[in-house]
Amino acid sequence: MRKNLVFSVLGACLLVATSSAAAIASGGSSSTDYAGKNAQGQKLFFAVDQTSSGPQFDPFFINQIDHCPVTGDTFTVEYDFSGFQIPIVHGKFDLNMNSISQRFDWKGTLSPAGASGREYIDTPAFDNEGGLQDCGDGVLNWTAKKLVPSSPAPQAPGAPYLVKISKAPDGSVHYSVSH
């Protein structure tokens, strides 16, 4: 039996609106929004902020469908971000967050037409006998296009679980899961 578990994040639109308002209010920075999909057709959304210290990758959300090899379970994972500013060097960025609860890497290259790159989201899970299995789908390619100012920002799909990742001013990363 295939189970469909969905970990989703709500509020991406609120984050987009507040970050755009903050950029306008600060007067010193601007941002360009990018919307795209990975090889599975799952949505992703981020901005490139122009700051006094150079361009910064500002992720909002990314989705991936993970597959568990032992149980056959399939579930959608969506990560929502706030407070991240990853330096863009020579048009490239890399957000790598490996921990005891996940393997995560979102990297890309910016071009005049948009952006492209690779993502890797891997989640550990128990199998039916209490052993561990590595649920993921390997490295996936993604592409994104710049949004023109009149384009509406994509919305994250609603689901019963909310996973929020935030970065505090001291650099610590906090995770919360709720439903």
Each residue's pLDDT tens digit in the chain (179 positions)? 334 333 333 333 333 334 444 444 444 568 999 999 999 999 999 999 999 999 999 999 999 999 999 999 998 889 999 999 999 999 999 999 988 888 999 999 999 889 999 999 998 999 999 999 999 999 999 999 999 765 555 555 555 445 677 777 887 777 666 54
Copy the structure tokens of residue 92. 């490239």
Supply the pLDDT for residue 84: 93
Estimate the share of the chain in helix, then strand, then coil, as percent rounded to the nearest 5.
10, 55, 35
Q: Is 68 exposed, middle or buried (0-12, 13-18, 19+ CB in 10 A)?
A: buried
Residue 158, amino acid = G
Range of the domain at 140: 4-178
Write the DSSP string, 109-123: EE-SSEEEEEEEEEE
Q: How many domains does the chain have?
A: 1
Q: Is 153 exposed, middle or buried (0-12, 13-18, 19+ CB in 10 A)?
A: middle
Supply the pLDDT for residue 178: 55
CA 39 to chain centre: 15
Q: Is 47 exposed, middle or buried (0-12, 13-18, 19+ CB in 10 A)?
A: buried
Dihedral (CA of 63, 89, 101, 10) sign: negative
Copy the structure tokens of residue 118. 């690779």
